[in-house]
C-alpha cells in the first residue's frame, strides 16, 4: 500500500518545524497534555513510539522512567532532529515506516503514536502488528486528527463564517466516505486517510483490544480567556485519542 513521506519535503519540513517550535500551538495546548494524561506509569517499561518525529516524546518517556524506547519514523529529516536534540543511551531511532513494524523482533509494554496514524492507509494491518508486538496487558495509546477533520480535501472551505469572519460552524461533508483525502498544508498534495470513528473503534475491538478511554480535548474557559482564537475547537475537536489494552 502507498506510503507518503511528506515530512522529507523541504518546504513542508521547514513549515512544520516552524509551527512546532512556536510557544503556543494546538500540540502544546491540547495534544501533549491529553497524551500525557493517558500514559500509564512508565517506570521500567519498554515503549515503542510510532511516527516519533523530533523524538520529544521519546525523551519524555525516558524521563518518566521507561527502560527502553524505540522511535520509528518514515522521515529521515525528522529523525535527524530527533538524534541531534533528543538522544539518550536508552532510545533507539529507526528509519522505518510504521506499516513495517512487524520486522521489529522485540516485545513492548506500551505502544504510543502521536498524530501519525491518519497517514496510514492500512490501519487494520498496523493495529494487528501493534497487537503482536505488545506483551499481555500491554497498552496502545494513539492520537490522530479527529475523524471530523479528515474528511476534508483541498478546494473545500473548512468553515462557514459570519460577516465578521468569525467561524460559526465547520463544513463537514462525506463523513461516511472512507478514502484518502489530499489537502494543502505547507504544500499541496498532503495525503491523509479518513476513517469513521466506528471503523477505528471496531478495528481495535476486532483485533482483541479492550478500549479503556477516549479523549477529544477542547478548550475550557481559562484557556479561552488566554487564547480566544481557539474557540473553533468548541465546534469540533482537532484530535481524537484512544487508549486500549491487550
Ligand atoms: C505530526 S508528526 C508527529 C510527530 C511526533 N509524534 C509528535 O507528536 O511530535 C507525524 C510524524 O509521522 C511520521 N509518519 C508519517 N507517515 C508515517 C509512516 N507511514 N510511518 C512512520 N512514520 C510516519 C512523519 O514523518 C512525522 O514525523
Per-residue pLDDT of 109-168, as tens digits, reads: 999 999 999 999 999 999 999 999 999 999 999 999 999 999 987 777 889 999 999 999
Given this model, what pLDDT does residue 158 score? 87
* Residue nearest ligand 1's atom 1 by CA: 115
Q: Which three cell numbers, joined as nine digits, stand for 244?
A: 486500549
The closest alpha carbon to 148, from 173, 124, 116, 179, belongs to: 173
Pick from 64-68, 131-135, 170-174, 201-205: least confident: 170-174
Given this model, what pLDDT does residue 2 score? 79
Spatial neighbors of 77 by CB under 8 A, at least 6 apart, are 7, 8, 13
The closest alpha carbon to 210, from 151, 120, 134, 96, belongs to: 134
Look at domain 6-245 and name its CATH class: alpha beta
71 lines ligand 1 (CB under 6 A): no
Confidence of residue 21 (pLDDT cuts 50, 70, 90): confident
How many angstroms is it from 221 CA to the middle of ligand 1? 31
* Residue nearest ligand 1's atom 27 by CA: 53
Given this model, what pLDDT does residue 206 score? 98
- Name residue 180's beta-bridge partners: 193
Half-sphere exposure of 223 (CA within 13 A, CB side): 17
Q: Is the pLDDT of residue 204 over 80?
A: yes
How many angstroms is it from 61 CA to the middle of ligand 1? 17
Q: Give the residue extent of every domain in the chain.
A: 6-245
Given this model, what pLDDT does residue 196 score? 98
Amino acid at each position: 500500500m502507498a506510503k507518503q513521506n511528506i515530512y522529507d519535503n523541504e518546504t513542508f519540513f521547514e513549515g512544520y518545524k516552524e509551527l512546532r517550535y512556536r510557544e503556543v500551538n494546538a500540540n502544546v495546548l491540547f495534544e501533549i497534555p491529553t497524551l500525557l494524561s493517558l500514559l500509564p506509569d512508565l517506570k521500567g517499561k519498554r515503549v515503542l513510539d510510532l511516527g516519533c518525529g523530533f523524538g520529544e516524546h521519546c525523551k519524555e518517556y525516558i524521563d518518566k522512567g521507561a527502560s527502553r524506547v524505540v522511535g520509528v519514523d518514515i522521515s529521515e529529516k525528522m529523525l535527524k532532529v530527533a538524534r541531534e536534540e533528543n538522544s539518550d543511551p536508552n532510545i533507539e531511532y529507526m528509519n522505518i515506516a510504521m506499516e513495517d513494524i512487524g520486522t521489529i523482533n522485540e516485545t513492548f509494554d506500551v505502544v504510543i503514536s502521536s498524530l501519525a496514524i491518519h497517514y496510514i492507509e492500512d490501519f487494520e494491518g498496523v493495529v494487528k502488528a501493534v497487537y503482536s508486538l505488545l506483551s499481555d496487558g500491554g497498552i496502545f495509546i494513539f492520537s490522530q486528527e479527529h475523524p471530523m477533520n479528515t474528511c476534508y480535501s483541498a478546494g473545500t472551505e473548512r468553515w462557514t463564517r459570519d460577516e465578521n469572519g468569525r467561524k460559526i460552524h465547520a463544513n463537514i461533508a462525506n463523513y461516511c466516505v472512507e478514502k484518502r483525502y489530499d489537502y494543502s498544508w505547507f504544500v499541496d498534495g498532503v495525503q491523509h486517510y479518513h476513517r469513521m470513528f466506528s471503523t477505528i473503534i471496531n478495528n481495535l475491538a476486532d483485533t482483541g483490544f479492550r478500549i479503556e478511554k477516549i479523549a477529544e480535548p477542547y478548550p475550557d474557559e481559562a484557556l479561552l480567556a488566554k487564547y480566544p482564537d481557539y474557540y473553533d475547537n468548541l465546534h469540533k475537536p482537532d484530535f481524537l485519542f484512544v487508549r486500549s489494552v491487550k
